[in-house]
Amino acid sequence: MPVKISVFIAASLDGFIAREKGEIDWLTSIDDGGEDYGYMEFISSVDYLVMGRHTYEKALSFGAWPYSLKKVIVLSTGTPTVPLELSGKVEVLNRSPREVVNLLSERGSQHVYLDGGKTIQLFLNEGLVEEMTITTIPILIGKGIPLFGPLLHDVKFHLIESKYFMNGLVQNK
């Protein structure tokens, strides 16, 4: 069975996933009323996360590692530090998206969660993203790190579901 590659991410109304230096203060200030927007159901279906170095470093800054039960691959041309407590849970690779998918397929992975703007863009350009869940936050931040960037070709998707939440967020799958 081929590996399913999914994106589950929030973006501002103007299409940014973070401010220019990676700050997500605009995202963490949302009053969610205890709603998880389907995240727990999604993350429970995932066996690997693949993210870029900047996303990895942002996750490290949260204090407690948010992916304790998942294996994480960090794509990087450098050598980001992996804390001792994450040894065996976090692996740093310098491989193409297709090479990563082939490796995870060999390891028996069934569902991969992609995170980080550049990483998502790389996998989209290779035609490897099967499903995206994008929650739009009703805020304009003006500039920042875009969810999408230049593509080599059109990438078509079909809307599966659209949800509106009482706090004004809209989620499209």
- Output the domain CATH number for residue 129: 3.40.430.10
Alpha-carbon distance of 96 to 82, in angstroms, equals 21
Backbone angles phi, psi at 163, to 5 degrees: -125, 145
State the Cα angle at 104 between 85 and 89, rounded to 5°.
5
3-state SS, residue 172? strand
CB count within 10 Å of CB 46 equals 20
Supply the range of the domain harboring residue 40: 4-146
Does the residue 167 lie in any domain?
no
For residue 151, CA distances in Å to 14, 24, 156 come to 18, 25, 12
State pTM to two decimals: 0.93
State whether the Cα torsion 156-128-59-36 is positive or negative. Answer: positive
Does the residue 110 lie in any domain?
yes
Does the residue 138 lie in any domain?
yes
pLDDT digit of tens for each residue in the chain (173 aa)? Answer: 689 999 999 999 999 999 998 899 998 888 888 888 999 999 999 999 999 999 999 999 888 888 888 999 999 998 898 989 999 999 999 999 999 999 999 999 999 999 999 999 999 999 999 999 999 999 999 999 999 988 888 889 999 999 999 999 999 99
Does the residue 169 lie in any domain?
no
Alpha-carbon distance of 104 to 3, in angstroms, equals 8
Alpha-carbon distance of 108 to 100, in angstroms, equals 12
Measured distance between the N- and C-terminal CA atoms of the chain, rounded to whole angstroms:
22
Structural domains counted in the chain: 1
